[in-house]
Amino acid sequence: MKVKSFRELLVWQKAMQCAKLTYELVRSLPKEEQFGLSDQMRRAAVSIPSNIAEGATRNSRKEFGRFIDIAQESRAELETQLELCVEIGYLRQEETEECNTLLTEIACMLYGLKKALVSG
């Protein structure tokens, strides 16, 4: 599977949207979390589209698949961190819904992309 640009990938576009939403969400976290949970969430959010982009520029399906796995791991990390923010009262469930919906879509798309890479 070769794409002209990673920007063509809908999963990358959704991951970018999710990263932007995450940056908006962490602005409302307490100041004491600025270098803790907020930083971890931003890193995980940025990691998703970054790994999709890096993988898409690799020369083999196997390498691309490895970066898809990393993106999937970062996606799960961010999903967990959002849930933790709700559990400890930093964010309301309603505030995280759009991001969580995107993360679910991204998970499915990454799974499909990985499957296509392996079988293709």
Q: Write the pLDDT tens digit of every residue in 2-59.
A: 567 999 999 999 999 999 999 999 999 999 988 899 999 999 999 999 999 999 999 8
For the chain, which residues make up each domain, given as ranges?
A: 6-119
CB of 77 within 8 A of CB of 38? no
Kind plus residue range of the DSSP H or E element containing 29:
none
Q: Which pLDDT score is estimated for 68?
A: 97
**Choice between 118 and 51, residue whose per-residue pLDDT is larger:** 51
Q: What is the pLDDT of residue 33?
A: 86
Classify 6-119 by CATH class.
mainly alpha
Give the model confidence (pLDDT) of 95-115 as tens digits: 999 999 999 999 999 999 999
Residue 34: CB partners within 8 Å, gap ≥ 6?
A: none
What interhelical angle do 61-87 and 10-26 show, nearest 10? 30
* C-alpha span between 51 and 105 (Å, rounded): 17
Contact criterion met (CB below 8 Å) for 48 and 77: no
* Average pLDDT rounded to a whole number, residues 63-78: 97
Q: Which pLDDT band holds residue 66 (cuts at 50, 70, 90)?
A: very high
Give whole-number Cα distances, 44 to 16, 21, 23, 103, 118, in Å: 12, 12, 11, 12, 25
User: Does pLDDT of 1 surpass 60?
Assistant: no
pLDDT of res. 89? 96
pLDDT of residue 11: 98
pLDDT of residue 59: 86
Q: How far apart are CA 108 and CA 29, in angstroms?
A: 29
